[in-house]
Structure formats: structure tokens, C-alpha cells
Structure 1
Amino acid sequence: MCGRYYVDDETAREIEKIVRQLDRKLLIKGEIYPGQKASVIARDAGEAVLRQMDWGYPAPQNKGLVINARSESALQKRMFSESVMNRRCVIPARRFYEWDKDKNKIAFQPEGKTGMFFAGFWKRFSEEDHFIILTTDANASVRPVHNRMPLILDEERSRAWLEDEKRYEQLLGLQPDTLLEKEGFMQESLPF
């Protein structure tokens, strides 16, 4: 599961290198929560473009949001399959967060890099575009904290995820080998 992630200035600069016609006011920075607008890279008329979308699909019977989908079963789920086949996106991030068994918030970011890309897909609901982050089994860096993690793609695989109609299924089975540094944060106490 991926329940929160972060974009900083360095990550934004990396995104600018990839998305040439970047409209700066579209880039949303800071900690991104489910339900918020975020910057994602999607295809439009054959070009990679940066767009704002809401994180999460409305859940059936209006029971919250669906924010993640398992990469290994997304094509078999009626709610996701058409979007995975036709509307893939990548979500740029500096880090993502998981909570350990003691409810401590742990940040994970790639070692020696300024950012990463998560595989995702999107769909239009009520005149707004919404995206979901694909998750996979945790790699050795994340496994001590959580059993799932975002499906992380490098730059070449991100392009293939967006553009290659034959290779995207192969990428769904990818086990990210990205080494991730972790840093612990104490969970904020909520006022309710």
C-alpha cells in the first residue's frame, strides 16, 4: 500500500527534464494525501504531458477512495483493467511513506537519486480525472516495515509504461530493485 508520498524542488527539476512543455503552476509540491490533486505524467496526443489529477477512484457505494491497486491483479479487476490498458500514467515523487507496526511514519527514498516514478493509471469521474498508484510486493528495503510498496519505474521503464502497448503487461510483473533509504518520522497526533 502507498498512502502518502512527497515531491520536492529537486524532484520537480528532474520532472522538468522529462516533460519539456512544463507549465510550472501545474506542479504540486509537498506531502500528497489521498483525495488531493497531484501532478502526474500522462499521454495526450502522443506526447507526455504533466496534468493535475485527484488521487483515488471513488469507491463503490461511495465508501471512500480506492488509492492503490495490486499490479499483479489489476488487469483481472473490472474496476481497473480498462484504465490499465488504455490510460496509464506515472507519478513523480521524492519519497513515499509507510507506517510500521508501532504506527511510526517511515519515509523511503531512492539512494543517490533525487526522485522516482510510480506506475499508475487514471480515469475520468464526474468531470475530474482521478489516478491510482500500482503496488507490488515490497523489496528488501521496504519489507521490514510493510509488505507492499509502489511499483517504482526508472526513466526508461516509465517511458515504456506510458508508450509501449506491448510491454506494459510485462512491467506489471516487475519487482523493483531500487535501493531505498529510510528515515523514521513520528506519526503526528490527529486532533480528533
Structure 2
Amino acid sequence: MCGRFVVAKTVGELLTIFEADEIVGEHPGPRFNVAPTQPISILVDRAFEKDEAGIPVGELSRELHVARWGLVPRWAKSPTEHAPLINGRIETILEKPSFKDSVVRQRCVIPASGYYEWQVGADGSKQPFYIHAGNDGMFALAGLYEWWRDDSKAADDPSRWLLSATTLTKDSAPELAHIHDRNPVLLTPETFESWLDPLHSGNAQLLAEVSRGSDLVAAEALFHKVAADVGKVSNDYPELTRAI
């Protein structure tokens, strides 16, 4: 699973790299140890109108939004009712009530410079690795998003709505399997566009295409061991990504 990741770019740089049209909300700056329930930047393609079937109508806008990492299903009684859904297994998301509706048209991309994973040794010891896209590269993680409504707040209260998101994972690519048996779903330039397009209904065919493409990206990923300091959520500085 992916439980910590890095975004070593400003929101302005993300806007340029991912060719977004607009920044919505107050985004966090560069982060080197993003943890569950913290705010993250997500990329969505959105139309301002929908038809009766909920299908977007008109020109799409590519936007960077701020979301809580840990998807909150719309039917949840509260955001803290269950453990945060930070990962969804791509093999089963079409079957899971918490994810299956979001797969259809609420897909997002989560920008990441890299992520941390812990390799468990034969003696039970855990060695953290930083798996990344190079000093100037960026991963595009496949994600899902959801809006949760707080009915205890007034209809005109902006804080009534919580935007949350989850990353997707898959069986690890062969090149990364020695570190962990799962890795985030990494998008190629081609699957990036299909994944974001809300006119493309999420289905098994799309998920299979995205899963295959992920292994191609993962095969090119760089990785190295890092210090155990990354295990402490309050630590958040560039040196966490340094090789040891």
C-alpha cells in the first residue's frame, strides 16, 4: 500500500506540469511526508453542467482542487466514522460500495514526486524506501474522489462540503516487488487522459488498461533506502528523501 508520499513542487509548478486551467482552494506547499487525512492536491476534469443522466455537458475544465487524503463515502454518517480509506485495490473497486460509484465519473489524478514504502525483513525489521520519478519528474497517481455533505450545517455554508480522495493500488510491478507486494497505480500519458475524462465511463476495460500501463511506469521508477525518520508524521523536510 502507499501510506506516505512526497510532492516536492509548488502549486504553481503543478499547474504548469499538468497543464491545468485553474487552481481552486488553498493548496499545501511542497511536502516531503504527506500522511493520511492531510490535505492534498488533486487534478480533475470538470464540466459546469450535466444532463439528466449525470453526464457532463459542454467544455471541460482541468482544475487543481484540495482534498482530504482518505475517501469519505457520501453515505457515511461522519468523516471519522471509519478508518480513512487512503487506498483502494484496483482489482476490487468496482465491487466495493465505498468506491464503485466514484469509479464511474469521479476519477482524479494525485500528483506525487514519489512515495515511501517499507520493506519487511526476515527478522521483522522494516526498512523505508523512497520510490520516485527522478529529481525533476512527477508521478500521476490514479485516484478517486467524493463529496461528503454535513447536514448539520446550513445549505449556504461552504464548509458543509468535504472533498476527499483515495489512491489506487495494484499488485507490485516486478521491479518493485522486492520492496512491497503492492504499488500505487501509476498513469502513463495515454491512460492519464482516459482516467481524467469524465465522458469516459469507468469500467473493467479502463481499469485493465490503466493497470497494464502502471507496470510500464513502475519499471522506470527509481528507488533507494532512506532513514527511519520518515516514520514520524511530524517530520516533513527534504532530507527525508535522501539516500542512506
**Aligned: 1:135 with 2:169:** yes
| Number of the residue aligned with 2:30 | 29
What is the aligned counterpart of 1:185 among 210, 221, 226? Answer: 226
Point out the structure with max Rg over C-alpha: 2
CA distance 1:148–1:168, shift in 2 (3 Å): same
Counterpart of 2:117 in 1: which secondary structure?
Answer: strand
Contact 1:160–1:168, Cα closer than 8 Å, also in 2 = no
Point out the more displaced range, 1-10 or 119-128. 1-10
- Structure 2 stretches of 5 or more lacking a match? 48-59, 151-160, 234-244
| Number of the residue aligned with 2:145 | 122
Point out the more displaced range, 97-106 or 161-170. 161-170
Counterpart of 1:108 in 2: which secondary structure?
Answer: strand
| Number of the residue aligned with 1:162 | 196
Counterpart of 2:126 in 1: which secondary structure?
Answer: coil
Point out the more displaced range, 57-66 or 95-104. 57-66
Superposition deviation, residue 14 in structure 1: 5.6
Contact 1:11–1:93, Cα closer than 8 Å, also in 2 = no
Contact 2:116–2:130, Cα closer than 8 Å, also in 1 = yes
What is the aligned counterpart of 1:50 among 52, 64, 67? Answer: 64
Counterpart of 1:9 in 2: which secondary structure?
Answer: coil
Contact 2:130–2:226, Cα closer than 8 Å, also in 1 = yes
User: Match for 2:200: what amino acid?
Assistant: E
- Structure 1 stretches of 5 or more lacking a match? none
Normalised to the residue count of structure 2, the TM-score between the two structures is 0.70
User: Using the alignment, how far apart are the partners of 1:155 and 1:118 within structure 2?
Assistant: 12
Superposition deviation, residue 156 in structure 1: 2.4
How do residues 28-107 of structure 1 correspond to structure 2 at under 5 angstroms? 28-30=29-31, 31-45=33-47, 46-58=60-72, 62-101=81-120, 102-107=125-130
User: Using the alignment, how far apart are the partners of 1:5 and 1:106 within structure 2?
Assistant: 11
Superposition deviation, residue 22 in structure 1: 4.1
User: Using the alignment, how far apart are the partners of 1:99 and 1:49 within structure 2?
Assistant: 32
Normalised to the residue count of structure 1, the TM-score between the two structures is 0.87
